[in-house]
Amino acid sequence: MLKYSLVGYDGSATSQRAVRFAVQLAQASGGRVRVVSVLQVTEGSADTCPLMMTDQGGKRCSQLLEEVKELVPGSASLIDAEVVRGSPGDVLLEQVRSHGIDHVVIGHTERGALARWLLGSVSSDVLERAHVPVTVVR
């Protein structure tokens, strides 16, 4: 039985669906959901650099938790949220190891071959390297 699911969250429609899916699983199994948003300069927005250079991570984490709670009303008691700096695939896999995660839920966004080659694919990276079940939500 799944007790602690991890969701990689970037605000996209597929990551929002991944959160909803993970929360439904947690509600059905009596589990919890850990939502992690990764700040990465190469793929970040204009505000990523200032966030990484200052101590605004706590504020962003609060915003993330509020955003996620709005996706699934009434789920706040099931969700932990964290904002982490680094490479998305590496961060998610480290979260699995360090927090006893037994299931990963990630969204998948179709990119062209060139974009995948240049930027990589977080879902492919996690699928290849994770040692726990992974659900990819489209």
CATH number listed for the domain at residues 4-137: 3.40.50.620
pLDDT of residue 25 exceeding 90? yes
pLDDT band at 69 (very low <50, low <70, confident <90, very high): confident
Cα 49 to the center of its chain, rounded Å? 20
Task: Note the pLDDT of residue 64.
Answer: 86
Q: Where are the domains of the chain?
A: 4-137
